[in-house]
Amino acid sequence: MTLSWSSSGLDVHLGWQPETGRTGLAAAIRAAIRDGRWQAGAAVPSTRALAQDLGVARGTVTRVYADLAAEGYLRTAQGAPTRVATAGALPQSPPRPAAREVAPRWDLRPGRPDLSAFPGQAWLASTRKVLQRVPATNLGYASELGAPELRDTLAVYLARSRGVVADPARIVVCNGYSHALTLLTRVLHGKGVDEVAFENPSLRMYRDLVAANGPRVVGAEVDDDGIDMSALDSPAVVVTAAHQYPMGVTLAPHRRAALTRWAGDSGAIVLEDDYDGEFRFDNQQVGALQALAPERVVYAGTVSKTLAPALRLGWLVLPRSLVEPMRAAIVDSGSRPPVLNQLTLAELIDSGGYDRHVRRSRTEYRSRRDRLLAALPGVVTPRGISAGLHLTLMLPDGGPTETEVLAACRRRAIGLEGLRSYWQDEGRPGGVIVGYGAAAKHAFAGATQAFIEALWEVTP
Amino acid sequence: MTLSWSSSGLDVHLGWQPETGRTGLAAAIRAAIRDGRWQAGAAVPSTRALAQDLGVARGTVTRVYADLAAEGYLRTAQGAPTRVATAGALPQSPPRPAAREVAPRWDLRPGRPDLSAFPGQAWLASTRKVLQRVPATNLGYASELGAPELRDTLAVYLARSRGVVADPARIVVCNGYSHALTLLTRVLHGKGVDEVAFENPSLRMYRDLVAANGPRVVGAEVDDDGIDMSALDSPAVVVTAAHQYPMGVTLAPHRRAALTRWAGDSGAIVLEDDYDGEFRFDNQQVGALQALAPERVVYAGTVSKTLAPALRLGWLVLPRSLVEPMRAAIVDSGSRPPVLNQLTLAELIDSGGYDRHVRRSRTEYRSRRDRLLAALPGVVTPRGISAGLHLTLMLPDGGPTETEVLAACRRRAIGLEGLRSYWQDEGRPGGVIVGYGAAAKHAFAGATQAFIEALWEVTP
């Protein structure tokens, strides 16, 4: 019902629906005040007049006016007419709606699993079990380091699957790897760490995150044996030991020994970002570096590659000396992962559903890698093929440039990444990082085909 | 199978189960190295000898040794025996397991809803719908300000239920109120806000959180009309306008007008912590203060009181000028609430399930409040009875002290809070804060009874 009248000096349009009752009437008047139809300082219709016009009891209008006076919209005074009181600065026009991320037509973005394969039934079943079995009081405020149930489960899982020296007391659960990296950076910065070394190349987003939280960032070269620590003199270093991101090499045994020895001698902290350790395709199992020096190496893992980034769950396995500082940093960050998600993941791992999904995914990704490798033209050199969700393709000196390949992909609505942002300096070789995880199963062949066409188009 | 031999100079005990295969054997050897049974530098059994003793193919042992060499546990060299390579500092004894929070026998802790009434079926049904309906790509990395679907839904819900001036573009979703408060503090601190005023009394945890993130904290008196801003000269103030926590008063209309006028004149930011705005028991609906001055007041809400803290979801409705700084702060914090939970909440609100649960809870809590009030002896003066999940009981000058009441409650395993930590200075009146939300339905009568007995015990 839209009413319009000016019996009281106010021209009133109230978009009020009678079935919304008193609450709806109050909302309609608030809206009228906000957008200036009921102007600041003007007398409002008498309760009698408005009740009559609306066809409601006078008491209804009286109570709505009282409510709005309590909220500060109206001003009442003994023996004087009720007036519009507000004079706040109110929004004049609604802003544009929030932008939604749109997946590219052909999704070859690295670092993403196939979300269409998310084990929704298993996740739901685990959530149901948690809600049935767990005492309701466990749905309260989370303990700082994470739900004890998940920390117990992760200790067993990480020891079994990745050879991590993990006991629950040194595990902390975070809102994904980014949160873990941020908190660890703050802890280390608080202990005087003013510089963090990253592999060169490495993911820029994480370097930026560290720099935003205190320390400066420097680079360390990566060769076929992984990070070269001969020039390393930072008090902290981040490594992707099992499968260097993005170059894909595995840290060689002699380097592993040297890195942990260096950390022990210099008192440095090594952060082992084990982002895709579950997806190893050859027989060369590579256990966690952390196990060689659990008091110098922080191990980091996540479900973002195995299940979905939408769950925002990651963890650190910490040297003992960092557990209490990390607890304080978590409290100061005001942020903890939801207990419900933590308990659901623990249940999923305990039930075997997590391992089943990882095994299924590993088989699928290996098959995609093989198909992609078979389709690649000889002009590109694939790197890092033994694990993970991506290939890095190096481009030849005389061949297409990174810019040309990216432009050809953009024209075909193919999403992938160039190597440039991964380097910390200029003049490095060009390349593209092709993720074979992200596409849905039915779309992978088409994405591969489109990418190969893009490559041919720009190959001289 | 536990084996023990010393044929190679190593006394070997391997707790290896044959059915665990190659992976299990590798794990058993890692464990032996880690706890010193296979000592650093010692030659390991030959592949032939170990294979024979274990009753496995020699190739199995060869591959396990190769794996462990790749991981850095073993050291291999052409023509020389394979040796144990590690010399890292390994944990000697497992630390104590993580402490689990234990709910008190009689749970009268304030600020907590009845978690046994968590609408598990509705939450599951909403999760199922989300997993069925939402495009899989939406389970990827979250947009910084929150899932667009939830921000759209919250804009409508908050305008409808709380009279908030909310459009999606000024809403940001956080990991609960603590995360929101932390990020806002950092944003304001970055803009030069070096002092934040809190109501006195107020929850210490939030004051500590603000202080940990930069600004110093000062107090502002609370009287029967809510916060007294006559002495206020901080550039930011946190208020619980609808239902002061813990005193329970409602910010009076003249104070609402004065507070927003003051903020407009001085350029200050007001944070409206609407922690229990959904639970109003009288007819005096109190809409959000924010609507009076949306460019000066930040509105904060959460599901921690309506659903459960375990979901870690809260939101801010921001002045336009703070949206982009907040986006940057979220990125730097590395932490965002899981998209899956955000989409599930949006679905629960859109389906009407959220409102149904809030209405049911409101009826139940009102009934509990009435029963508690009826049972209270005259010696205590209840405050803040018109809304929320708690009563604050003021203690008389000659009567039992706060310390005495808390001790009597502790003896009966009753969980509640004293007023002392809420004050920012000494010499304030004593009291206890009784939460009638936390107990399960069947336990509330017993908790009330126990509390009344505790009160009588210490009343002179």
Q: How confident is the model at residue A138 (pLDDT cuts 50, 70, 90)?
A: confident
Using DSSP, state whether B286 is helix, strand or coil: coil
What value does the mean pLDDT of chain A take? 88
Euclidean distance between CA atoms A354 and A308, whole angstroms: 12
Q: Which residue of A has its CA nearest to B176?
A: A335
Cβ proximity of B314 and B281 under 8 Å: no
Residue with tokens 């990651």: A314
Helices A253-266 and B58-71, axial angle in degrees (round to 10): 40
Structure confidence at residue B15 (pLDDT): 62
Euclidean distance between CA atoms A158 and A165, whole angstroms: 8
In tens, the pLDDT along B115-124 reads 999 999 999 9
B90 neighbourhood in chain A, CB within 8 Å: 165, 294
Structure confidence at residue A356 (pLDDT): 95
Percent of chain A exceeding pLDDT 70 equals: 90
Mean pLDDT of A272-294: 87
Chain B closest-CA separation from residue A56 CA (Å) = 18
Residue with the bigger pLDDT between A244 and A94: it is: A244
**A70/B250 Cβ within 8 A:** yes
A250 neighbourhood in chain B, CB within 8 Å: 70
Q: Which of A175, A311, A332 sits opposite B213 (nearest CB)?
A: A332
**A337/B333 Cβ within 8 A:** no
Cβ proximity of A97 and B155 under 8 Å: no
Structure confidence at residue B92 (pLDDT): 35
Structure confidence at residue B36 (pLDDT): 60
How many angstroms separate the first and last alpha carbons of chain B?
70
Q: Which residue of A has its CA nearest to B86?
A: A292
Chain A closest-CA separation from residue B399 CA (Å) = 34
Q: How confident is the model at residue A291 (pLDDT cuts 50, 70, 90)?
A: very high
**A69/B289 Cβ within 8 A:** no
- Portion 147-186 of B in contact with A at CB < 8 A: 148, 151-152, 159-160, 163, 165, 167-170, 174-176, 178-183
- Portion 207-246 of B in contact with A at CB < 8 A: 209, 212-213
**B178/A312 Cβ within 8 A:** no
In tens, the pLDDT along A215-272 reads 999 999 999 999 998 989 999 999 999 999 999 999 999 999 999 999 999 999 999 9
A339 neighbourhood in chain B, CB within 8 Å: 309-310, 312
Euclidean distance between CA atoms B383 and B390, whole angstroms: 9
Helices A148-162 and A339-350, axial angle in degrees (round to 10): 40
Which residue, B117, B287, B338, B56, is CA-closest to A28? B287
Q: How confident is the model at residue A192 (pLDDT cuts 50, 70, 90)?
A: very high
User: Which domains does chain B show, CATH number per domain?
Assistant: 2-89 (1.10.10.10), 118-355 (3.40.640.10), 357-458 (3.90.1150.10)
Using DSSP, state whether A404 is helix, strand or coil: helix
User: What is the secondary structure of A408-445 as a DSSP string?
Assistant: HHHHTTEE-EESGGG-SSSSPPPEEEEESSSS-GGGHH
The CA R_g of chain B, rounded to the nearest whole Å, is: 30
In tens, the pLDDT along B304-345 reads 999 999 999 999 999 999 999 999 999 999 999 999 999 999
Residue with tokens 């998310």: A118
Q: Which of A90, A152, A313 sits opposite B165 (nearest CB)?
A: A90
Structure confidence at residue B134 (pLDDT): 86
Structure confidence at residue A39 (pLDDT): 67
Structure confidence at residue B328 (pLDDT): 96
Which residue, A8, A441, A317, is CA-closest to B91? A317
Q: What is the ipTM of this complex?
A: 0.81
Mean pLDDT of A46-65: 81
Distances (CA, A) of A159 to A104, A153, A162, A175: 38, 10, 6, 22
Euclidean distance between CA atoms A350 and B4, whole angstroms: 32
Residue with tokens 């929030």: A98
**A139/B131 Cβ within 8 A:** no
B18: pLDDT strictly greater than 80 = no
For an interface test with B, the pick among A183, A333, A344, A359 (most B C-beta atoms closer than 10 Å) comes out as A333
B97: pLDDT strictly greater than 70 = no
Q: How confident is the model at residue A357 (pLDDT cuts 50, 70, 90)?
A: very high
For an interface test with A, the pick among B333, B336, B355 (most A C-beta atoms closer than 10 Å) comes out as B333
Residue with tokens 């002092």: B195
Distances (CA, A) of A433 to A272, A385, A387, B146, B356: 21, 12, 14, 28, 49
Mean pLDDT of A266-288: 88
**A131/B332 Cβ within 8 A:** no
In DSSP terms, which residues pair with B84 in a beta bridge?
A: B74
A190: pLDDT strictly greater than 80 = yes
Q: Which residue of A has its CA nearest to B331?
A: A209
Cβ proximity of A339 and A313 under 8 Å: no
B127 neighbourhood in chain A, CB within 8 Å: 124, 127
Q: Which residue of B has its CA nearest to A261?
A: B88
- Portion 93-132 of B in contact with A at CB < 8 A: 94-101, 103, 107, 112, 114-116, 118, 120, 123-124, 127-128, 131-132
Euclidean distance between CA atoms B191 and A32, whole angstroms: 34
Structure confidence at residue B37 (pLDDT): 61
**A88/B310 Cβ within 8 A:** no
Mean pLDDT of B135-139: 86
B432: pLDDT strictly greater than 90 = yes
Chain A closest-CA separation from residue B378 CA (Å) = 30
Structure confidence at residue B39 (pLDDT): 67
User: What is the secondary structure of B257-282 as a DSSP string?
Assistant: HHHHHHHHHHT-EEEEE-TTTT-B-S
Q: Which of A182, A294, A312 sits opposite B338 (nearest CB)?
A: A312
Structure confidence at residue A13 (pLDDT): 54
Euclidean distance between CA atoms A7 and B66, whole angstroms: 92
Residue with the bigger pLDDT between B9 and A449: it is: A449
In sequence order, what are the residues at sequence separation of 6 or more whose Cβ sits closer than 8 angstroms to the Cβ of residue A378? none
Using DSSP, state whether B340 is helix, strand or coil: helix
Model pTM score: 0.82
B94 neighbourhood in chain A, CB within 8 Å: 167, 169
A15 neighbourhood in chain B, CB within 8 Å: none
B89: pLDDT strictly greater than 50 = no
For chain B, give the number of residues.
460
B107 neighbourhood in chain A, CB within 8 Å: 137
Chain A closest-CA separation from residue B433 CA (Å) = 18
Structure confidence at residue A158 (pLDDT): 94
Mean pLDDT of A411-429: 95
In tens, the pLDDT along B346-399 reads 999 999 999 999 999 999 999 999 999 999 998 899 998 888 999 999 999 888
Mean pLDDT of B151-170: 93
What value does the mean pLDDT of chain B take? 88
A42 touches chain B (CB under 8 A): no
B442 touches chain A (CB under 8 A): no
In tens, the pLDDT along B218-264 reads 999 999 999 998 989 999 999 999 999 999 999 999 999 999 999 99
B168: pLDDT strictly greater than 80 = yes
Structure confidence at residue B283 (pLDDT): 63
Q: Which of A73-77, A454-458, B260-264 has the lowest mean pLDDT?
A: A73-77
In tens, the pLDDT along B254-295 reads 999 999 999 999 999 999 999 988 898 876 667 899 999 999
A35: pLDDT strictly greater than 80 = no
Residue with tokens 């000269």: B233
Structure confidence at residue B86 (pLDDT): 55
Cβ contacts below 8 Å, chain A against chain B, sum to 352
